[in-house]
Structure 1
Amino acid sequence: MSEQHSTLGRTVMVIPTYNEASNIAWIVERVRIAQPQVDVLVVDDGSPDGTGAIADGIARADPQVHVLHRTEKAGLGAAYLAGFAWALEAGYDVIGEMDADGSHQPEQLQRLLVGLRDADLVIGSRWVPGGSVVNWPWQRELLSRGGNLYVRVLLGIGVRDATAGYRLFRRSTLERIRLDEVRSTGYVFQTDLVTRTLQAGLTVREVPIEFVERVRGESKMSGQVALESLKRITWWGLRQRWHAVKGHAQVTSPRELQQTR
């Protein structure tokens, strides 16, 4: 067992799937080759293309691969919450996220494992020095960079890639940020959990990765999904500012103002 795994404990990568029949065996094999000590949990949302059945076959042949079947497509966040609950119940010490389409390269998982040694959450980031994207049109890069800048400014956080989905959480982190209170089900789930981790006073570290655009299957991201995420983040930011103003008003009462004049 490597030094990283001996110090971090049991690790599982949660991979949510919906219609990833052409990718699931390929990505699981890459994880198992790149990090033989790391387990895999496939969370399938009832894929009509047979992804779940393929994952079951892989799990029968490999005891370190597990499958959690869900009956409906309820969003990325909902799938991850189900996977996290399963992993916590199973006693894992480190619980990770990664996409099934190959955009998150298992061969770079070691970077995240090293980064977690002195962090509570580590993010594989596209937008820190050394990070990059492959095969993205400039419009999509602009949208991602702009969206993350918006998150940083509105929510007041320093994370440069808060929307990224290649991550490792310590068990203690997930236990502390109260997953039972998380209501985000779509892609905004990623920003939600980063913010909760920071608000809990925990350490978030970003390590550079090369993000590769999928070559097989269809992306689940759409303009409507992006707009919904933008609306939710805007609401969080405005609510946060309102609470800050309201809290200041409560602390600085009219009587206190008179006393300072």
Structure 2
Amino acid sequence: MTNPVRMKTFDVTIPVLNEEPTLARQVEQLHAFLKTHFPTEGQWQIVIADNGSTDRTLEIAQELSNRIPEVTFVKVPRRGVGLALKTSWGQSKADIVGYMDLDLATDLPHFLEAYRAIAEEDYDVVYASRLHPKSKVVNRPFKREVASRVFNLLLKTYLGVGFSDGMCGFKWLKREVYPELHEAGAQNDGWFFSTELLTTAEWLNKRIYELPVKWTDDVSSSRVEILPLAKRYINSMIELKKRRP
């Protein structure tokens, strides 16, 4: 008789910056989904990582934490998505850590696939890919699509990586492998940290699962400016390559 797979605990981190209008609604939607599919008490929590908000975001996060047992928050000392994730994961005790964007652009049922890939199939890292042939991308502006493909081509050419989408905000990993990835170069305080996770996982020969997804672009909530971001990413690629083991 085979032993049943042990239930894995997990933390879902949501990095936020000035998200007062939508924070409560989106977190409540995510909470309802997770509560339906993972009803066991104490198995999981949602971590709101506030990285420098100047509106009522932190206050709303505190209110949600007081009202909903599975919601907590961390206050990050300065802005930066990578810094927010490192702060959250650095204090986590869960088996699985990961993050998704507040706009829930990746359809929530994909989380069930990501969980199974790590908890049952023993993958080390799971990432969503909008560029997988089976993915369905909705409402994405043409210039963002082109920028994404160019960026990922640069990654493949310059860093020699094989993953298809380094920028998608939906990634999960065994918490036990995170210190290895950090040591190997996943250290950026900004958005590039998300790409560093996959790059260092490849360098260390971790088991990586590519997840095709349905992904809906929320153009109204985006603050991304492509050219300044591209310059930062190219500089970050150069710095990351210097750290290759």
Match among 42, 49, 68 for residue 43 of structure 1: 49
Structure 2 residue aligned with 1:202: 206
Structure 2 residue aligned with 1:191: 195
Q: Is the 8 A contact 1:16 1:80 kept in 2?
A: yes
Change (3 A) 1:108 1:142: same
Q: What CA distance in whole angstroms lies between the structure 2 residues aligned with 1:99 and 1:179?
A: 25
Q: What CA distance in whole angstroms lies between the structure 2 residues aligned with 1:84 and 1:128?
A: 28
Match among 67, 76, 80 for residue 81 of structure 2: 76
Give the number of aligned pairs: 233
Q: Is the 8 A contact 1:45 1:69 kept in 2?
A: yes
Q: What CA distance in whole angstroms lies between the structure 1 residues aligned with 2:167 and 2:202?
A: 14
Structure 2 residue aligned with 1:142: 146
Structure-to-structure mapping, 1:208-227, within 5 angstroms? 208-214=212-218, 216-227=220-231
Structure 1 residue aligned with 2:101: 99
Mean CA deviation greater in 56-65 or 183-192: 183-192
Supply the AA of the counterpart residue of 1:92: A
Structure 2 residue aligned with 1:29: 28
Q: Whose helix fraction is larger, Structure 1's or Structure 2's?
A: 1
Q: Is the 8 A contact 1:23 1:216 kept in 2?
A: no
Q: What CA distance in whole angstroms lies between the structure 1 residues aligned with 2:124 and 2:213?
A: 18
Q: Is the 8 A contact 2:185 2:196 kept in 1?
A: no
Q: Does 1:162 align with 2:190?
A: no
Q: What TM-score, normalized to structure 1?
A: 0.81
Q: What CA distance in whole angstroms lies between the structure 2 residues aligned with 1:156 and 1:142?
A: 20
RMSD (Å), alpha carbons: 2.3
Q: What CA distance in whole angstroms lies between the structure 2 residues aligned with 1:231 and 1:220?
A: 17
Structure 2 residue aligned with 1:52: 58
Tell me the secondary structure at the aligned position of residue 89 of structure 2: helix
Q: Is the 8 A contact 2:128 2:210 kept in 1?
A: yes
- Deviation at residue 115 of structure 1 after TM alignment: 2.4
Mean CA deviation greater in 29-38 or 76-85: 29-38
Structure 1, unpaired ranges of 5+: 245-261
Q: Is the 8 A contact 1:81 1:179 kept in 2?
A: no
Q: What TM-score, normalized to structure 2?
A: 0.86
Q: Is the 8 A contact 2:187 2:196 kept in 1?
A: no
Q: Residues 122-163 of structure 1, C-alpha deviation per residue, up to 9 Å, x if partnerless?
A: 001111121132111112101101211211122111100122
Structure 2 residue aligned with 1:66: 72
Overall identity of the aligned pairs, in %: 24
Supply the AA of the counterpart residue of 1:84: W
Q: Is the 8 A contact 1:124 1:166 kept in 2?
A: yes
Change (3 A) 1:24 1:12: same
Q: What CA distance in whole angstroms lies between the structure 2 residues aligned with 1:158 and 1:8?
A: 31
